[in-house]
Amino acid sequence: MKEITSNSVYNALQNKGYEIFETDNLPYNLNIIGIRNNNRVPNSFDDFIVVMWKYKGKWSFNKYEATTDPGLYYLNHPLSPEGTAILKEGQYLHCYCLGLHQGKYKALVQFMPVTVIRDFNKDNYLDFSAGCEETGLFSINIHRANLTGRTININQWSAGCQVIADSIRFNDFISLCKKAEKYWGKTFTYTLINLNDIDEHAY
């Protein structure tokens, strides 16, 4: 697998023309980026969410094992008649804020429209481009799986949400978001790219 570093992710965002938050007079100006593996077989935490921020000229970089795709259960049991939501790759500026996932615990929750691809054919494979697109409010949140430990299979943990596999690592992620909110305000940008966007030589 390509090595995912702050440099390689930075270059990928730059090549896509996405906004990169680099103002570094205060800490925790977070860039939150999902990196999707092209594996179409569902139910594994085979993606990553990375958080990078610059402070006084130095970059910090955290990487979290995650899924950016729905689990097998919801591919076969869509919550919408149009099909299961798969978040479309792109940059969603200021679309997230800290809130309660399903009213239960602190997570990053969607409060502005994002675009999803509807996988409707229930063929046990993820269709990243074959379905129709829909833009709106779908509760595509960024949350954790199990309350404790590291979750192996997605199952019902994602119907389209971006889900961090390990509870301790998720708590670290939310801690960063809480710190960022104090300095930079209540909204967060989420950018979803593909592993193929990463240049393996850009270290």
Q: Work out the pLDDT band at 9, boundaries 50, 70, 90.
A: very high
pLDDT of residue 2: 81
Q: Work out the pLDDT band at 185, boundaries 50, 70, 90.
A: very high
* pLDDT, average across residues 30-38: 97
Q: Is the pLDDT confidence value at 164 over 60?
A: yes
Closest CA to 104 of 147, 73, 136: 147
Token output for 70: 């729905």
Q: What is the pTM for the complete model shown?
A: 0.96
Q: Where are the domains of the chain?
A: 6-197
Question: What is the maximum span of the chain, computed from C-alpha positions, in angstroms?
Answer: 50
* pLDDT, average across residues 129-155: 95
- Residue-wise pLDDT for 44-61, tens only, equals 999 999 999 999 999 999
pLDDT of residue 130: 78
* pLDDT, average across residues 150-172: 98
Closest CA to 95 of 145, 49, 136, 34: 136
Per-residue DSSP letter, 158: -
Task: Say what percent of the chain tops pLDDT 70.
Answer: 98
- Residue-wise pLDDT for 57-110, tens only, equals 999 999 999 999 999 999 999 999 999 999 999 999 999 999 999 999 999 999
Q: What is the distance between the alpha carbons of residues 61 and 67, in angstroms, rounded to a whole number? A: 19
Per-residue DSSP letter, 153: B
How many residues are given for the chain?
203
Q: Is the pLDDT confidence value at 200 over 80?
A: no
Q: Is the pLDDT confidence value at 203 over 70?
A: no
CB atoms within 10 A of CB 88: 17
